[in-house]
Amino acid sequence: MSSSEARVEDVQNELATIRRAIAESRRATARWGDAYVMWGLLIGVALAVQWWGWAHGVAAIWIVWVVAAVAGLFISLLLRRRRVRGGEVVSLASRSIRTVWSLCSLAIWTFAFVGIPAGVISQELIMPLIAMEIAIAAITTGATVRSRVFAAAGWLWFAGSVLSLFLPLGIQFPVFLFLIVAGEIVPGLWLWRFTRGMTDAA
């Protein structure tokens, strides 16, 4: 075998490895569809309760976010444990995606539970910031696994974030609820429903 043929074979092997990594990342992302639905429902319910509390002047309504965060973390740990027991293979790409979502979530909770009480972030700014963090995570996920679903959801969150900057708080609530349904729950249901068949379709 000549040196040129050896180089071609090495390149082909590397491309095959990359394709396998992308395919595994897509499968791993699809298997987390139930987590996206769960977080979407928790955030949606918490936001609806906060909207009601804001409209009725309930000052301590923010506690609903603490409940949602604790419940979400507990359920996420249970889902993670089930996947580990099921022999889930964690690739570099899927680990990177999980890290991006974890860091964005940490930033979101920091904005909400540190920024607002400290007075450096207003209530009118928190939802655009959260939407932008989710947009970054979703677009990154879509680019990593080449998923049009996540890319579209990410750009929807981005557009919603920019729009919310020009809206009063009372209008931001329904806009954010729409984003949760269209950009979180619906993609999660799609992944959940087509866990096995979506790998080649995304």
Which residue's entry shows tokens 């939407």? 131
Residue 140 and residue 151: Cα distance in Å, rounded? 8
What's the whole-model pTM score? 0.77
Does the pLDDT of residue 16 top 60, yes or no? Answer: yes
Does the pLDDT of residue 57 top 90, yes or no? Answer: no
pLDDT tens string 143-180: 877 778 889 999 999 999 999 999 999 999 999 999 99
pLDDT tens string 25-50: 556 655 667 788 888 899 999 999 98
What is the pLDDT, as a whole number, of residue 3?
Answer: 63
What is the pLDDT, as a whole number, of residue 193?
Answer: 67
Residue 109 and residue 68: Cα distance in Å, rounded? 11
Angle between helices 3-31 and 123-145 (to 10 degrees): 140
pLDDT tens string 93-145: 677 778 888 898 889 889 888 888 888 988 899 999 999 999 999 898 888 77
Which residue's entry shows tokens 């992302």? 29
In 3-state terms the chain splits into helix, strand, coil percentages (rounded to 5) of 85, 0, 15
Compute the average pLDDT of residues 73-98. 72
What is the pLDDT, as a whole number, of residue 20?
Answer: 66
Compute the average pLDDT of residues 177-201. 74
